[in-house]
Structure 1
């Protein structure tokens, strides 16, 4: 399946130099990026979504980015579980596009995979989606053409699916929809350029040096003392795993990718791989300023401020905060999981890297040596996660021509480079994901299955998952083995891929087929 933008080039080679093969970067004359609107949409409503360039102010520099409806992130869509929307997309961007409705179990033809479920929408073109929302929780939307460029430059937005049951979530006083992201700027204050012809940073993905929280370098949010603030968190970054802390406040994990967790729990932090979500309730007990932080083994990055101020509130949510509730559906799933935990996997998928050029191998081994003995990278790859880009030069110059990321089907001890999986609606499939160390650059991968169904994480390295939640993306750390149970519900041809777009564009993707019941 081809997801590269190889069909449309709107620049003439009048001067014949490389600059014309880069996407445009000049923000002059563009409208300034707005804050995202919160749109309450009823069953049967039509939403108009336009992709177009915007000028985004980041501190003392202004860069050219892309927005949905003129904002970064795009509008937050709030819809009722069980409802349906018509979304009319107009493309006034730089390259062809689609919209993928991440995590939604929907009709295959509206999944937004170019050349597979639809023809890409050309610049100047339009496409109409019909989207269903069968499951409550937090979802998001983004392009599925050259995401390494288009999603990175601001094309992402959140979807809140409001549950049909009033008491699905515990009570909260305030909702904050928060995306965490990063952007790579050069010394000139511009976004480090993107080529129209190939994806760079193929080895590790593009790590940014400017953090954007809900589209801003360091936003301020407000709450009153005693309130429970619900954080709806999505990692929209290309490659960076975020480890989110909010010191001075109590945090309660209540939900994940697709709805609530098996049992609510008090947590000190939340780890989010690219495209994963978490729903976290925060008790802002005392007046003062709380800082949302991203922590790595080496550093702490402040991302946003939650200013707790004003008259204290004696809220129902605050009084209910201590209660830890259980989800009856997932409790029932847990009781039936025993046989699945011990069963052999139905499918085994290996995650592998192969590098072509000698420099890549040399740099990789130097990185490993440094990781074992040097101070910096030893922390950079702690816990099987690449926290930072420790090989910036090699990474920037690596492309799909030199870096081959692969899924290898090792089911039954075989080795098939072309993965050909066929399922049927109603199947439950145990899939083992093996992030192999015998690889030219082992690193973490967020593995994402499109909307044919949803899955439960059964175990990581043979340790049973302690708290179940329905998911569409799972972080597979370096060297890790993760078992998932895939609940297949929707027919069609669906995609599976690493959600680091540079890895996907370098081959880490395949399509699988689901037949009707």
Structure 2
């Protein structure tokens, strides 16, 4: 494996870091392989933020923002990000949902060495699929994501989307008290249940914001669940709103309906017809208001619903030739008197195996080895009373069906597996490497609900 981690202590001046008080800066690194490049220098560093009015929270930020700087490129372009670590701890960046080479996947001790304090790492990869994605560390995840190291990555359609207006809305619930101080990001007894929830909801780092949108226009809302635990029951009462994409992948547009359950790591692209100037809509999590969407005066006349977004170039699995594998997601049955002992808990397991986050060699023992280019059907069986958003690195899969709900098959990288649900997914194993396969409730992942899938 060719690791490109490099020392930066002697060369900060050459990075163009002078005057970066606002954080990350977009800059030119050179002509890309395909089309015009969108390149960034992205710095992770401490940042005080005001989540609770009148109080400072000691967050960690990408590009001087928490959630982090929005990165953008076009489908088919090479994205080049020079990541500089100015934290006091090692870290990495995982590009959630992007089909990329294993060397760029950001999993420490599997695809790269950790980026140490004072060092930098150059991430460089083609973005083959348009859609709404995000980035975050893949080490000490409860702590690092909990402190704010999450950010959106938007891959624009190569030929345009048909939308004139759009907004990115990053959903995150923070584990803070009334004075803005962090509370525990992971509590073992909560990790053994649904996960450790935060208490303060936010959109783009603000609690219950008022978001102005152009009245009468159809606006693309990219909603990203960057939370470590919470599944949002998204609804917009009284709104004209349609779903255009799930987890970056287009679907045939359909009404949002009563609500959509958006688990940790998942994304949804909505088209909203903004009401008249002076009118307001309530974006909600179940009955709880997340934000007020306000129609503001617009010079443009009302716009039509855009056509369906173009499909991403994902290989269609051949179900007739596919090999079938079963994965049981279950509690590891740890005795309650042991839960509060030690630092590494094994509370969950996949097919009887609990991932040990302190063991750097876990990925050397993959739970399944797939043949490159072959077709597979995975049967996902949730044998617990809690939801698990199941995420696969490096590849997209097609959700086929469920024994709990009717599903129109669609491509995704994260599927919210309901309690006691069995679902089937299918994909072509077309990306070589050792890929993580895990629940995206972070303290479930860190207490056993993760495995490695090798494609060779």
Q: Which residue of 2 aligns with 1:241?
A: 231
Quote the Cα distance in structure 2 between the aligned partners of 1:86 and 1:330: 21
What are the superposed Cα offsets for residues 456-510 of structure 1, whole Å, 9 maximum, x if unpaired? 10011175522x3321100111100011012222111111111111111111111
Look up the SS of the partner of 2:411 in the other structure.
coil
Look up the SS of the partner of 2:245 in the other structure.
strand
Unaligned runs of 5+ in 2: 1-20, 30-34, 354-364
Q: Does 1:357 align with 2:339?
A: no
**Aligned residue runs from structure 1 range 12-91, under 5 A:** 43-58=36-51, 59-91=53-85
CA drift of 1:239 comes to: 1.0
CA drift of 1:344 comes to: 8.8
What are the superposed Cα offsets for residues 285-320 of structure 1, whole Å, 9 maximum, x if unpaired? 32312121110xxxx2211121102147423xx233
Preserved contact between residue 435 and residue 452 of structure 2 (Cα < 8 Å): yes
**More helix per residue:** 1
Quote the Cα distance in structure 2 between the aligned partners of 1:62 and 1:344: 53
**Correspondence for 1:420 among 356, 360, 367:** 367
**Aligned residue runs from structure 1 range 200-349, under 5 A:** 201-203=190-192, 204-261=194-251, 263-268=252-257, 269-287=259-277, 288-295=279-286, 300-311=287-298, 313-315=300-302, 318-320=303-305, 325=308, 346-349=324-327
Look up the SS of the partner of 2:134 in the other structure.
strand
Preserved contact between residue 175 and residue 184 of structure 2 (Cα < 8 Å): no
- Which moves more between the two structures, 500-509 or 105-114? 500-509
CA drift of 1:345 comes to: 6.5
Quote the Cα distance in structure 2 between the aligned partners of 1:193 and 1:328: 41
Quote the Cα distance in structure 2 between the aligned partners of 1:40 and 1:232: 27
Quote the Cα distance in structure 1 between the aligned partners of 2:273 and 2:265: 25
Preserved contact between residue 265 and residue 440 of structure 2 (Cα < 8 Å): yes
CA drift of 1:61 comes to: 2.1
Quote the Cα distance in structure 2 between the aligned partners of 1:403 and 1:471: 28
**Correspondence for 1:107 among 97, 101, 118:** 101
Quote the Cα distance in structure 2 between the aligned partners of 1:151 and 1:358: 27
**Aligned residue runs from structure 1 range 459-498, under 5 A:** 459-461=401-403, 465-466=407-408, 468-498=409-439
What are the superposed Cα offsets for residues 16-35 of structure 1, whole Å, 9 maximum, x if unpaired? xxxxxxxxxxxxxxxxx979
Preserved contact between residue 497 and residue 509 of structure 1 (Cα < 8 Å): yes
Preserved contact between residue 100 and residue 113 of structure 1 (Cα < 8 Å): yes
Q: TM-score when scaled to structure 1?
A: 0.74
Look up the SS of the partner of 2:110 in the other structure.
coil
Quote the Cα distance in structure 2 between the aligned partners of 1:283 and 1:329: 25
Preserved contact between residue 24 and residue 40 of structure 2 (Cα < 8 Å): no
Look up the SS of the partner of 2:142 in the other structure.
helix
Alignment coverage as a number of residue pairs: 416
CA drift of 1:225 comes to: 1.9
Q: Which residue of 1 aligns with 2:133?
A: 139
Quote the Cα distance in structure 2 between the aligned partners of 1:122 and 1:491: 27
Preserved contact between residue 258 and residue 469 of structure 1 (Cα < 8 Å): no
Preserved contact between residue 38 and residue 76 of structure 1 (Cα < 8 Å): no
Preserved contact between residue 65 and residue 153 of structure 1 (Cα < 8 Å): yes
Q: Which residue of 2 aligns with 1:457?
A: 399
CA drift of 1:251 comes to: 0.8
Preserved contact between residue 251 and residue 280 of structure 1 (Cα < 8 Å): yes
Look up the SS of the partner of 1:151 in the other structure.
helix
1:147–1:199 CA distance, 2 compared to 1 (3 A):
farther
1:182–1:332 CA distance, 2 compared to 1 (3 A):
closer
Unaligned runs of 5+ in 1: 1-32, 361-393, 411-417
Quote the Cα distance in structure 2 between the aligned partners of 1:133 and 1:313: 33
Q: Which residue of 2 aligns with 1:377?
A: none
CA drift of 1:194 comes to: 5.7
Q: Which residue of 2 aligns with 1:363?
A: none
CA drift of 1:181 comes to: 1.1
RMSD of equivalent CA atoms: 3.1
